[in-house]
Structure 1
Amino acid sequence: MTGEQGKSADNPWPVRAVATRVAKYIDRLGMVWIEGQLTELKLRQTTAWMVLRDPAADMSLSVSCPRDLVANAPVALTEGTQVIVLGKPQFYTRNGSFSLRISEIRAVGIGELLARIERLRRLLDAEGLFDSRLKRPIPFLPRTVGLITGRASAAEHDVVTVATNRWPAVRFVVRNTVVQGPNAVPQIVEALRGLDRDDAVDVIVLARGGGSVEDLLPFSDETLCREIAACTTPVVSAVGHEPDNPLSDLVADLRAATPTDAAKRIVPDAAAEQAFVADLRRRSARALRNWVSREQHQLTQLRSRPVLAQPLQTLEVRAAEVHRARSAARRDVTRLVAVESERVGHLSARLTTLGPAATLARGYAVVQAVTGRDGAHVLRTTADAPAGAQLRIRVADGAVTAVSEGADEAH
């Protein structure tokens, strides 16, 4: 058994069988509408040969059509023209080639282009590629600037000249690419990747002058927009003039209105910075002088206050108050002592006057009955001195003893 034909080396298909089957399979596709950009256009006597390229991918198709179809096209067909064609895929069994035989050509209108750009804008916006929080800051003073622009273009001249005049030390790494047409996107993407991998490049500038919507179409390409968003190096979009607004402006970290504006925004003006520094020095010196003057004035005010001008004045006042208080206290104590001394003198005199010694001095005597061991007690009645009782009589200058003879009846 050799098996099914074409499934083993023992039972292969001939070339004609494979070519015929491929042609039949492709023929089943029928008529299709296809959109792309023309990259090549060759006119023969009766036939036109073109290459239709996908602007977002490195893919293309060979296209053929009658020469009159190109001549009667709604717009002049040149390389880079965006078109929509109606054609039938064909596989030529003779040489195994594939081609698209077209029967109708339509130009993509401005309105359709703008509508497609708007749909892509909404898609990228929904994915967050325009989010301001994802924007990378532009360095204040980039050492090296990567520049992607057309060869010998006015945009290159403007960016380099203006930036160098503003900051002479800035360096440029220039990548010249096609900036319009079907080959623009692949070349720009390749240059962008190369500059992004270069560690010496601090910022990348996409620069192009103004143009029509078709001319600026590569800068609204989805592939380019996603590549800009994927860069780790900050990207500045300076495409067209002020009214132009391709999608690269929205994805980039900074949008510049023109290439000249981009040069002004990526590097500072040396003269302006020097003037700014000088102004800051003047302002700081003036602020320092004002601060010193203010502090001196405050110190002068503090020193002029009585507490610092005459620091001992308060102590002297308090010392005088203490001295007066001590004098008053001493005076009051002296007066009190004098008053009390006089009172004590008066009491002493009264005590002396009323005391027994003074009474004895006036001729009185104190008679005491001596009772032996019990001592002596003042004789108060005659009964206290019966006859024979021992008496002690105290007078002013001493005492005498006597014996009682009893009470005197006659008295």
Structure 2
Amino acid sequence: TIELISLGAAVLAAYWMRAGHVRSAAKFLALYAWLVVSPLVYLGDGLSSIAPSLYAPVIVLTLLFVGWRASLISAGATLLFTLTFLIARELGHHPPIIFPLNGLTPWTIFAMGLICMLIPIASVYHNVMAALQSAREQLTLREQAESALRQSEERFRLITSITSDYTFTSVIQPDGLPKNVAISGAFEAITGYTFEEYAAMGGYRASIHPDDVAEDDRVLDILKTNQPVVSELRIYTKSGEIRWTRANATPVWDNTQNRLVGIIGAVRDITAEKSAEQALHENEEKFRTIFDLAPYGITVQQSGGQFLDVNQAFLDITGTTREEVVGHNAAELDLFDLEHIKSLMREVATNGRIVNRELVVHPRNAPPRSLLISSQRVFLAGRVIVLTVGVDITERKQAEQALRESEERFRLISSATSDYTFAAIVN
């Protein structure tokens, strides 16, 4: 019976182990072994048999494959059971000998040994298989990481070969100045130098425009405070050309020595951007000169009608100051017929422009004046503005009116007299 129960327990434990529940199987076998040994001691030949010696491998195997807590519980239970058994014998209680263990059958010993062997074998097998699986996974992950790294390096090489940027790494020399130790990317395309030529001429400090050396010193001082910095400097290329560069520099800091030990960064050629900025600045200067000196009124308004800027001619025509006009709209100034202004603004919004429309202005402390205006809707700095030019035609209209009145008087005089006048051309 014991042999069959033990074999059944071994089969059940083996099934659990195959299903991956090795720790649960180990706990079950440790508990089962203890529960088998204890009745054998109690109902066998007692402490004088070989049964108590089976407690030792049970406790050791429990320690190895279940844990020290379970091993302490097993040892404590064994000690308690042994003391109880001894006290019972001292009190004269002798349980019947049902299982004489001095004659323990080979099958019983085989079953007990099989149980004790299954625990370490299964645990070792499980650990080995888990280690192999982990190794396979780690190898796969490493291969994937190496492949991704190679692809990343190739992309970086391709990008740096076609971009206008280059990256650099510098170390700080004993004199406190940086020295380039590595450069990659479009360095030669920007400067015209190879890295060896660049190093031989003294590095980047030797290529900086003299007027920008102070700016480079300022940048280095910021880096020495462990702060990143962006700077724009002019450099001389190998051909003698001056080019603008923008550098993003990050300090390499030694926390032990608490000082700057290196610099890493990227440099971009911004010569084209600077040229465009310069051209834009020059155009703005030209526009401002024309705007200020033009003999006719010019205004710049938002699409909603608020004045952003006006020139001096407009202020002279309207009798206002710049502070009174800029930031306000036509309704607040009370200079124009509001309905007429709204009509003109709607037409500009619909058609994008108006040309040669007459507008009457009511200046401060002066008679009304007539303007001939043209407006154009334009996009500037990402927003819609309305540019208006107004020519003062007051004198012209007065002259036209005087001419019409003179012609009318002449017509009346001619119709009232009996004489007539004539003009002839003599050949």
TM-score where L is the length of structure 2:
0.19
**Greater relative contact order (Cα < 8 A, sep 6+):** 1
Which one has a larger percent helix, Structure 1 or Structure 2?
Answer: 2
TM-score where L is the length of structure 1:
0.19
Larger Rg computed on CA atoms = 1
